[in-house]
Amino acid sequence: MEELLQQIFNGLVVGSVYILMAVGLTIIFGVMNIVNFAHGEFYMLGAYFAFILVNILKLNFFVGLIVASIVVGLFGIIIERIIDRFGNMPETDYIYYTILMTIAISMILSNTVNVLAGPAQKQILAGISTAPIQVGPLIVNTYKLLVIVIAFSVGILFGLFLKYSKFGKAMRATFENKEAAASVGINTSIVNMVTFGIGTFMASIGGILVGAMFNIFPFMGTQANLKAFAVVILGGLGSFSGAIVGGTMLGIIESIFSGYFAVGYKDAVSFILIILVLVFRPEGLHRRVKR
Amino acid sequence: MKKNWLYLIGFAILAILPFVFSNQYKLHLIILIAINVIFASSLNLISGYVGELSLGHAAFAGLGAYATAFLALKGVSPWLGLIAAVVMTLVVSYLMAPVVLRLRGAYFVITSSAFQMALFYVASNWLHVTRGPMGLIGIPLPALFIPGFGSVLLDSKLSFYYLSVIFAVLIVIACKRLVASPIGETWVAIRENEKLAVALGIDRFKYVRIAFIFAGVFAGIGGWLLAHYVTVVSPDNMSFELIVSMILMIVIGGRGTIAGPIIGAVIVTLLPEYLRWMGNWRMSIYGVILFLLVIFLPKGIMQLWGTISQKGILADFVIPRKE
C-alpha cells in the first residue's frame, strides 16, 4: 500500500508537467483551431534556454525559469504570427495545413538545436536539494514538491486570469465561438497571439522543470508532445478541466505501470490508453467537447 | 487507342531503364523510388482522395515488414511472407477502422499518430520478439520458381529492380482503377462535402474504411519489399521519419492525383542525395522545404500543370479529382 502511495506521488510529479503541456495545447486548439505539433519544441527550447541561463550564465534557477519561459512565450508569439500570416486558406483545409506547418516548424526547431547544441544529454543544475524527506509513508524531496507547487501555481494563476480578468473573458469568448467573439468587437488576432504565447510559456516551464529533474536533449520535445496529445485526448480535445484531470491520471497510471510492470513500456501506456479511450469513450473523460 | 500505345511505350522504357542506368547506385535509387511510389500512392488514397491526414500510416508499412521478417527468419518463403504481410495489414486496418475512422480532422490525425507510436514503442521494447532497435537481420531474398528453369534467386539489383517496379506499376494501376471507379468518386464526394454526401445516403464509414484498408495493405506490400531489399527490419520501418517522408511525397507531388505521389516519391528519394552536402542540417532543411511548400504550393507540383494537362492521356494522371 505504501508503495502504491509512492507511485501515486511520483505520478503526480510527472503528471503536473503533463498538465502544463496539455493545458497549453488545449487553449491553442480551442482558441485558434491549430493542432500544435510543435508544442513539444517550445518545451525543449525553454529547457535549453534555461540551461544557458542557469548552467552557463550562473543565474538563479527561478530567475532562469521565468526569463527563459518569457522568451519562449515571445518566440511563440512570433511563430503564431508566421502561421497566421501564411495560414489563409479554405476552412476545410485549415487543420490539414496548419498541422503540416507545425510539423515543419517542429522539424526545423528540433533538428537545428540538434546541430547547434549536439545530441548529448545535459542537465539543468537547479541547485535545489534532492535529498529525500520522509513525509508519513512517502519519500519525497524538495525538488519534486517544488515541481508540483510550480505547475499547480501556474495552472491556478492562469485559471484565475481566465475567470476574473477582462482579457481572460475575451479568451474564453474566442474559445467558445470565434466568429461571435469577433463580431462583438474582441480583437481575435491579439487573443490568438496571447494564447499562443501563454501556451508556449507553460510548455517552456514544463520543459525546464523536467530538464532539472531528468535531462535535456534536442528531441525531448517529440516525446513530450505525444504525451501531451495523449492527455488531451484522455481529457477531451478542448476541455480545460479534462486536461488537468487527464494529465494527473496519465502521470499516475504511467507511474503505477512502470512500478509494477516493465519500465520500457511506460511510454506505450499512454498510446494504448488513447486507443482504449477512443474505442470506448471517444469524447474523452469530459463531455464538454468543442467541435 | 493512342492511350494504349503510350502506356506500352512507358512500360518499354521501364523495362530497358536498368540497362541505361546500369550503375548499381542508380539502380538502388530507382528501387527506393519504386518502393516510395508504393508508399506515397497508398497514403494518397486516404489522405489525398478521402482527405484525412493519416499520421500513422507508417505503421502499416512497418507491419508488412515485420510480418514477413518473422516468417522469413523461420525459413518460410518470402512469397508466403508477402501473403502474411497482406493478411496482417488487412486484419489490422480492418480492426482499427472503427476506432480511427469515427473521428475527423484533428482527432483523426492525433489518433492515427498514437496508433503508430504505440506500435513503434512495442516494436522497440518487445525485445523477446522483435529484438527492439537491434532489429531483425538476415532476411532472405525472394526467389522465383520458373518451371523448367528451377529457382532463380533475386539477389541482384537488376532483378530487384524488376520486382519492385512491377509491384509499383501494379499498385499505381490499382489506385488508378480505384479512383476512377464509383468508389473513388464517392471518396471525393465525401472529401468535398461530407454532410452533402451523407445526406445523399452515402455511408461514409463504409467508404472511408475501404480506402483505409487498401491504403494499409498497399503500404504493407511496400514494407514487404523494403524488408526483403534491405534484409533488415527495425522499428525504423514504422518511424515518425517514415511518415513525414510519405507526407512530404504527397504534399510535394500533389495529393489527390495519381501522378502526384510518383513525382513526390522521385523528388523525396533523390533529395537526400542532392542535399547530402548539407550534412546534419538535412532534416532542418526538410522542415523548411515542407513549410514553404505548404504555403506556396499546397496542392503540390501538380498545381503547376493545370493547363497543359487538360487533354489526352495526361489528364487521367494529372487532373486532381476535385472541383
Contact of B39 with B219, CB cutoff 8 Å: yes
**What's chain B's average pLDDT?**
82
Greater confidence (B302 vs A211) lies with A211
Q: How far is CA B28 from the centre of its chain?
A: 17
Residue B19 to chain A, least CA–CA distance (Å) = 39
- pLDDT at B313 (0 to 100): 46
Interchain CB distance below 8 Å, A265 and B287: no
Q: State the Rg of chain A over Cα.
A: 19
Q: ipTM score here?
A: 0.81
Greater confidence (B266 vs B121) lies with B266
What cell was used for A46? 525553454
Contact of B160 with B230, CB cutoff 8 Å: no
Helix, strand, coil distribution of chain A in percent, nearest 5:
75, 5, 20
- pLDDT at B151 (0 to 100): 67
Q: How confident is the model at residue B59 (pLDDT cuts 50, 70, 90)?
A: very high
| Global model pTM greater than 0.90 | no
- pLDDT at A189 (0 to 100): 87
Residue B289 to chain A, least CA–CA distance (Å) = 8
- pLDDT at B169 (0 to 100): 92
Given a cut of 50, is residue B16 above it in pLDDT?
Answer: yes
Domain boundaries, chain B: 24-239
What cell was used for A136? 508519513
Per-residue tens of pLDDT for chain A, all 291 residues: 777 888 888 888 989 999 999 999 988 888 888 889 899 999 999 999 999 988 888 888 888 899 999 999 999 999 999 888 877 766 667 777 888 889 899 999 999 999 898 888 888 887 777 777 887 777 888 888 888 899 889 988 898 888 899 888 888 888 888 888 888 888 888 999 999 999 999 999 999 999 888 888 888 888 888 888 888 878 776 777 888 888 888 888 888 887 777 666 677 777 777 777 776 766 655 554 444
Report chain A residues whose CB lies below 8 A from the CB of B284: 107-108, 111-112, 115
Q: What's the rounded mean pLDDT across residues B210-228?
A: 92
- The contacts of residue B171 (CB under 8 Å, 6+ apart) are B37, B38, B41, B42, B218, B221
Pick from A122-126, A263-267, B281-285, B314-318: least confident: B314-318
What percent of chain B has pLDDT above 70? 90
- The contacts of residue B270 (CB under 8 Å, 6+ apart) are B29, B33
Contact of B320 with B304, CB cutoff 8 Å: no
Q: Crossing angle, helix B240-253 and helix B259-274, to 10 degrees? A: 120
Residue of chain A with shortest Cα separation from B282? A111
Q: pLDDT tens-digit profile of B123-168? A: 887 777 777 777 777 777 777 766 666 666 777 777 888 888 999 9
- List alpha helices for B45-142, DSSP H: 58-73, 78-101, 105-125, 127-130
Pick from A143-147, A264-268, B39-43, B236-240: least confident: A264-268
CA gap A251, B114 in Å, rounded: 17
Report chain B residues whose CB lies below 8 A from the CB of A28: none
- The contacts of residue B17 (CB under 8 Å, 6+ apart) are B30, B161
- Residue A219 sits at the chain B interface (C-beta within 8 Å): no
Report chain A residues whose CB lies below 8 A from the CB of B103: 278, 282
Residue A1 to chain B, least CA–CA distance (Å) = 29
Report chain B residues whose CB lies below 8 A from the CB of A265: 121-122, 125
Given a cut of 70, is residue B309 above it in pLDDT?
Answer: no
Parallel/antiparallel/unpaired status of strands B150-153 and B232-233? unpaired
Residue B204 to chain A, least CA–CA distance (Å) = 17
Report chain A residues whose CB lies below 8 A from the CB of B280: 111, 114-115
Interchain CB distance below 8 Å, A237 and B281: no
Given a cut of 70, is residue B32 above it in pLDDT?
Answer: yes
Report chain B residues whose CB lies below 8 A from the CB of A106: 287
Given a cut of 70, is residue B27 above it in pLDDT?
Answer: yes
Given a cut of 60, is residue B321 above it in pLDDT?
Answer: no
- pLDDT at B1 (0 to 100): 61
Interchain CB distance below 8 Å, A115 and B251: no
Interface of B with A (CB under 8 A): 51, 53, 55, 98-100, 102-103, 105-107, 109-111, 113-115, 117-118, 121-122, 124-125, 240, 244, 247, 251, 280-284, 286-288, 290-291, 294-295, 298
3-state secondary structure A29-54: HHHHCCCCCCHHHHHHHHHHHHHHHH
Residue of chain A with shortest Cα separation from B192? A92
Q: pLDDT tens-digit profile of B66-104? A: 998 888 888 778 888 889 999 999 999 998 888 777 777
